[in-house]
Amino acid sequence: MHLLGAPLTIEVIVKEGTFERSKQMRLFIDGDGSPVKNEVIELAQQYQLPVVIVTSVDHYTTKDYPAHVHFVYVDKGSDRADYEIVKEIEPGDFLVTQDYGLASLVLPKKARVFHHNSTEYLPETIDFLLGQRYLGAQMRKAGKRTKGPKPFTKEDREVFKRIFENELRQTLAK
At 118 the pLDDT is 92
Contact (CB, 8 A) for 78 and 88: no
Cβ contacts of 172 within 8 Å, gap of 6 or more? 25, 47
Q: pLDDT-based confidence at 148, cuts 50/70/90?
A: confident
pLDDT at 83 over 70: yes
Distances (CA, A) of 98 to 104, 131, 144: 11, 15, 23
- Cα 51 to Cα 116: distance, rounded to the nearest angstrom: 16
| pTM of the complete model | 0.81
pLDDT at 131 over 90: no
At 21 the pLDDT is 45
* CATH class of the 12-173 domain in this structure: alpha beta
What are the boundaries of each domain within the chain?
12-173
- Whole-number percent of the chain with pLDDT over 70: 86
At 52 the pLDDT is 97
3 state DSSP class of 75: coil
- Cα 68 to Cα 146: distance, rounded to the nearest angstrom: 39
In 36-131, where do the E strands start and end? 51-56, 69-74, 94-96, 112-114, 120-121
Contact (CB, 8 A) for 15 and 68: no
Contact (CB, 8 A) for 116 and 96: yes
